[in-house]
């Protein structure tokens, strides 16, 4: 038995008339090219004569890529996905958009990749907007002087190599010297400052990034931090765009008047990713096989940091790029490039690591070209004497190794230098408040720890720090207000330190 249709010719005529009378659909022009070659992280595309530099392309397999090289009959494309998913001959279409990432408060507390896609399993990210990863740096007239300190909570840095909000301070050193630890400690110290932190891991192992995320969670900084991960297992294209994505996310908050700290860990891997992509695309190699524009690449990235005027949003972006050296070779190509771009460097010495001096900040090579103007005034009286004392101690220490008989003055200098160097020791994940730092450093500079065995000196410093935390509230308030230490404050700190150390060493406290 057949099914009777209720659809009549009248209905057909009405539907046809409605379609003919309705607006015509707008024609969509789709330009499609073809893949002619595929390499490890790159592809050569033909047939897209109208494509633009940095334009995002979409392959038929779903992988995306960025136009890197423009030539009359071919495009060099950096892939942002796995190259083994792409086959020669498959279609490629233009998107008419440059690479962009999501920005906004929804990113805080999240772990994302270089394209802003969630990697923490906590669901989709609701972005305020999307912004291109490449942007012009803020003009000179829209920048203001760096006058506010960025407290890292690390004695050796806050006292001798200070960093200001809006500064670009390079962290440089060999492998396993504690570069990442310093950057993470600086992030943890922002818990009460309101500074937004962005940690960008470039070419790092997954377990190393997981440790950083664990430290941020343990330090209760998760809700104020964005973690961007482009690991060593990811395509080199993602490592290439990762620091630019981090800077774009930071610029959104700076435009809202917020202070942002961006850690790029590390630009050595970033430079190597760029070299790999450039050589695969047959760009001419230069020094150490890096392409000639590697300097411009990092310069245009770090130039986007700064302290901005109210007309430009009123916020600031502080950049802490990390770079790795080999065998203490600071004159290698990438380190020298970044030293010339940044406003100073914190150098971590493997010699100090071998002496179990952590953080291994070498104050003879480290320098801050801007932060001294932003340093808290209470630290300024300590900083100058600190450097002189340590430099004299290191020279005498080398001389004393020959077994020469030393006079009393030289012996006293060696004792003072050893105490000051011990005062700069600090375990990781333990940022210290400014008043506590000053109490320990002033006590060491005044000789209260001279001649004590190392273990007893460290125990005495712990007691001084604990006493300062409970008894120097009014001094801490004046320090935070950027007031200099008064003479009576100085004397009060010394008396507090002397009293705190009286139980060290069997009841005989350190003597001035």
425 as an active site residue: the answer is no
Q: Are 325 and 332 in contact (CB under 8 A)?
A: yes
Helix axis angle, 408-423 relative to 434-445, nearest 10°? 170
Size (the chain), residues? 512
The beta strand positions in 311-366, using DSSP E, are 316-324, 344-348
Cα–Cα distance for residue pair 363/349, rounded to 1 Å: 10
* Selected catalytic residue, list 96, 117, 287, 369: 369
Q: Which two tokens stand for residue 62?
A: 């779903």
Cα separation, 120 vs 106, whole angstroms? 13
249 neighbors 134 (Cβ within 8 angstroms):
no
* Strand, helix or coil for residue 51: coil
Which positions ≥6 away from 214 have C-beta within 8 Å? none
Say how far apart CA 343 and CA 317 lie, in whole Å: 13
SS3 145: coil
Contact 439, 464 (CB under 8 A): yes
CA distance 45 to 34: 6
Q: Would you list the DSSP string of 189-231? A: TTTTT--EEEEEEES--HHHHHHHHHHHHHTT-GGGEEEEEE-
Backbone angles phi and psi of 331, in degrees to 5: -90, 10
Q: How many angstroms separate the CA atoms of 128 and 103, rounded?
A: 6
Catalytic positions, please?
A: 369
């Amino acid at each position: 038995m057949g099914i009777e249709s209720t659809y009549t010719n009248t209905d057909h005529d009405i539907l046809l008339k409605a379609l003919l009378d309705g607006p015509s659909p707008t024609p969509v022009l789709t330009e499609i090219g073809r893949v002619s070659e595929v390499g490890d992280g790159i592809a050569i595309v033909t047939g897209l004569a109208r494509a633009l530099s940095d334009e995002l392309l979409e392959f038929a397999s779903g992988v995306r890529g960025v136009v890197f090289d423009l030539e009359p009959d071919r495009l060099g494309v950096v892939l942002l996905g796995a190259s083994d998913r792409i086959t020669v001959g498959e279609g490629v279409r233009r998107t008419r958009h440059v690479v962009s990432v999501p920005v906004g408060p929804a990113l805080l507390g999240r772990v994302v990749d270089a394209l802003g896609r969630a990697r923490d399993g906590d669901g989709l990210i609701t972005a305020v907007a999307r912004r291109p990863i490449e942007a012009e740096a803020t003009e000179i007239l829209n920048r203001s002087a760096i006058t506010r300190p960025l407290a890292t909570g690390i004695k050796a840095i806050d006292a001798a190599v200070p960093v200001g909000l809006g500064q670009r301070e390079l962290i440089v050193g060999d492998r396993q010297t504690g570069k990442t630890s310093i950057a993470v400690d600086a992030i943890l110290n922002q818990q009460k400052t309101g500074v937004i932190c962005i940690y960008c891991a470039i070419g790092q192992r997954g377990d190393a990034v997981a440790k950083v995320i664990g430290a941020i969670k343990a330090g209760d900084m998760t809700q104020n931090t964005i973690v961007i991960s482009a690991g060593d297992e990811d395509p080199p294209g993602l490592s290439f765009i990762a620091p630019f994505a981090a800077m774009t996310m930071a610029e959104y908050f700076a435009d809202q008047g917020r202070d942002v700290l961006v850690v790029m860990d590390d630009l050595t891997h970033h430079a190597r990713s760029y070299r790999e992509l450039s050589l695969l695309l047959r760009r001419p190699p230069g020094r150490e096989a890096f392409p000639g524009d590697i300097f411009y690449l990092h310069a245009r990235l770090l130039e986007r940091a700064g302290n901005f005027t109210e007309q430009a949003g009123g916020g600031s972006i502080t950049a802490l790029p990390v770079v790795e050296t080999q065998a203490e070779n600071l004159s290698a190509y990438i380190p020298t490039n970044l030293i010339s771009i940044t406003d100073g460097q914190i150098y971590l010495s493997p010699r100090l690591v071998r002496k179990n001096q952590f953080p291994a900040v070498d104050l003879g090579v480290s320098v801050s070209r801007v932060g001294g103007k932003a340093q808290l005034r209470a630290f300024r009286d300590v900083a100058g004497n600190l450097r002189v004392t340590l430099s004299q101690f290191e020279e005498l220490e080398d001389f004393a190794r020959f077994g020469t008989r030393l006079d009393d003055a030289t012996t006293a200098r060696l004792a003072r230098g050893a105490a000051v160097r011990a005062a700069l020791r600090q375990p990781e994940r333990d940022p210290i408040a400014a008043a506590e730092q000053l109490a320990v450093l002033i006590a060491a500079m005044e000789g209260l720890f001279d001649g004590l065995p190392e273990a007893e000196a460290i125990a005495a410093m712990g007691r001084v720090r604990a006493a300062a935390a409970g008894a120097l509230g009014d001094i801490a308030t004046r320090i935070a207000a950027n007031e200099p230490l008064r003479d009576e404050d100085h004397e009060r700190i010394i008396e507090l330190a002397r009293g705190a150390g009286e139980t060290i060493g069997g009841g005989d406290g350190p003597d001035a």
